Amino acid sequence: MTFAKQIFIGLVGVTMMTGMLSSTVAAFEPNKPVEFIIMAGKGGGADKMARLLQAIVEKEKLSSRPLFPTNKSGGSGAEALIAAKNANDPDHTIMVTLNSFFTTPLRQPGLRIDNTEFAPIGRMAEDSFLLWVNKDSGITTFEQYLQVAKADGSKWVMGGTGRAGEDNIITNYLNNEFGLTMKYIPYQGGGEVAKQVAGNQLNSSVNNPSEALGFYESGDLVPLVAFTDERLPLFPDVPTLKELGSDFSYFMQRAVVGAPGMSEDALAYYTDLFTKVYASADWQDYKTKQSLMGEFMSGDQLRAYWDQQNSRHTVILKASGDIK
């Protein structure tokens, strides 16, 4: 290949690239601040993530208009879902979601929310869950845990975030699968739960790694088992439940969605925006440190993921008696 030819091909490539870029950019670009709804209160895991995403967008100057975060924590996500559904301008309304994206429409059918109507912008990560106990309990393996918890019956107390939420689902699973009768007490946030276990007020918890990391490093909390498919890089010595013979894993989606009725062009713009955010060093760094899993996912792939999660949660909640 001659040098001239290389330049020629390069030029064609560049013009095609710029052509493609400008066509996507010209199609849609926000002309006012973008409302960034957070499905949780200030300071929680979702809020932390949303504010980091906002900061990355501003720092890397990825968007011509800023994202302004709005916390809508009401009704376990109900308020956020309704706000997004009734958004005046769906092209300028995006939302960061958790698993209440699946459970709340099931638990509160009166809301008439169909979560598949939301625009699939991008799944930024999946958060994992581990089973934690206090080091003073002397428990070091899952088998020991099962023995002690079984012996204590309903005196064994598990804490978690909210009722019929992620932590409750895992607790119910453990109770059913291993014939336990652990008591579950719902709290406002995961940080509080971890602290209660560290202070010996509760016996165990199923916190996300990020919530319990401080106490893990100090040795106060001991992880026994991970509810993931593969071992977590941060906890290489902690077995997964699958290794121990039970086919169960559970994750929390951390995804950005667009308001129902968002135009195709806007969806393409935001998907592109969050693809760039995902690739940024800051996000990758955060993902590693917080032990987040999961690759970027968008469009039809993300929709298929939602369908799968919807049917899974219907089964889980029916089994636990949290829905009819």
Partner 1 sequence: MDVLISLLDGIMVALEPINLGLAILGVVVGLFVGAMPGLGSVNGVAILLPFTFVIQSFTGGATSPMIFLAAIYYGAMYGGAISSITLGIPGASTAVSTTFDGRPMALAGKAHIALVAAALASFIGGTISNIMFTGFAPLLASVALSFGDPEVFALMLMAFATFIGLGGDDIPKTIFSICIGLVLATVGFDIVSGEPRLIFFDITGFTHGIRFLVLAIGVYGIGEMLWTINTNRHGSSMTQVDVSARSIIEAIKEFRHAKRGTLIGSFLGFFVGILPAAGATPGALMAYGVAKLTSKDQASFGKGNINGIAAPEAANNSASTGAMLPMMTLGIPGSPTTAVLLAGMVIWGLQPGPLLFTNQPDFVWPLIGSFYISNVIAVLVNLAFIPVFLWMLRMPFTILAPMIFVLSLVGTFAAYLDMFDVSLMVLVGFAAFFLRILDYPVAPAVLAIVLGPIAEPKLRQSLLFSDGDFTIFLTRPIAGPITVVALILIFLPLIKFIKNKMTTKKET
Partner 2 sequence: MRKAEIVTAIILGILSLCIMWKSGEAPAWDPTVARFDNIGLIDGEGPGSGFWPFWLSFIMFICCIWIGINWYRRTSPPSQSDAPFLDSSGKHMLLFVGGGLIGFLLVIYVLGFYGAIPLFLIYYMRFLGNHTWKLTGMISVGMPVFCFFFFDIAMRIVLPKGYLEPLFIPLYEIFL
Judged by the rule CB under 8 A, the positions of this chain that interact with partner 2 are 31-33, 35, 64-66, 68, 106-110, 322-324
Residues 6 or more apart in contact with residue 27 via CB below 8 angstroms: 265, 268, 269
Question: Applying CB under 8 A, which part among 137-145, 182-190, 257-265, 308-316 lies near partner 1?
Answer: 182-190
78, 180, 206, 224: which one contacts partner 1 (CB under 8 A)? 78
Q: Residue 237 interacts with partner 1 (CB under 8 A)?
A: no
**Helix, strand or coil for residue 166?**
helix
**Interacting residue with partner 1 among 217, 237, 247, 300 (CB under 8 A):** 217
Mark 101-130 with x for binding to partner 1 (rule: CB under 8 A) and - for no binding: ------xx-x--------------------
Query: What's the min distance (Å) between Cβ of 93 and partner 1?
Result: 12
Residues 256-315 that bind partner 1 (CB under 8 A): 285-286, 289-290
What are the strands of the beta sheet with 130-134, ordered from one edge? 183-187, 157-161, 204-205, 130-134, 221-226
Contact 307, 114 (CB under 8 A): no
β-sheet bridge partners, residue 158: 184, 204
**Residue 186 partner contact from partner 1, partner 2, none using kind-dependent CB cut-offs of 5 to 8 Å:** partner 1
Dihedral sign, Cα of residue 206, residue 157, residue 312, residue 122? negative
Q: Which of 20, 55, 304, 319 binds partner 1 (CB under 8 A)?
A: 55
The torsion of the CA quartet 275, 281, 283, 289, rounded to 10 degrees, works out to 150
Query: What, of partner 2, partner 1, none, does residue 106 touch, CB below 5 to 8 Å by kind?
Result: partner 2
In the bound state with partner 2, the residue whose beta carbon lies nearer, of 68 and 248, is 68
Whether the Cβ atoms of residue 132 and residue 262 lie closer than 8 Å to each other = no
SS3 content of the chain, % helix, strand, coil (to 5): 50, 20, 30
Q: Is 70 in the site for partner 1 (CB under 8 A)?
A: yes
* DSSP tag of 213: H
Structure tokens at 34: 């973008």
Kindly state whether residue 185 participates in binding partner 1, applying the rule CB under 8 A.
yes
Q: Are the beta carbons of 93 and 34 closer than 8 angstroms? A: yes
CB of 33 to partner 2, least distance (A): 5
Annotate 236-274 with b (16+ C-beta within 10 A) or e (fewer). eebebbbeeebeeebbbbbbbbbbbbbeeebbbbbbbbb
Sheet arrangement for strand 93-97: 67-71, 34-38, 93-97, 252-258, 119-127
Which of partner 1, partner 2, none is residue 214 near (CB under 5 to 8 Å by kind)? partner 1
Q: How far is the CB of 208 from partner 1 (least distance, A)?
A: 12
Any residues with CB less than 8 A from the CB of 53 and at least 6 apart, and which?
A: 36, 67, 96, 124, 256, 274, 277, 283
Residue 198 site contact among partner 2, partner 1, none (CB < 5 to 8 Å, cut-off depends on kind): partner 1
Among 10, 13, 33, 199, which residue interacts with partner 1 (rule: CB under 8 A)? 199
Answer with the entry of partner 1, partner 2, none that 323 interacts with (C-beta below 5 to 8 A by kind).
partner 2
Binding site for partner 1 (CB under 8 A): 41-44, 47-48, 51-52, 54-56, 58-59, 69-76, 78-79, 82-83, 107-108, 110, 154, 157, 162-165, 168, 183, 185-189, 191-192, 194-196, 198-199, 201, 210-211, 213-215, 217-218, 220, 285-286, 289-290, 322
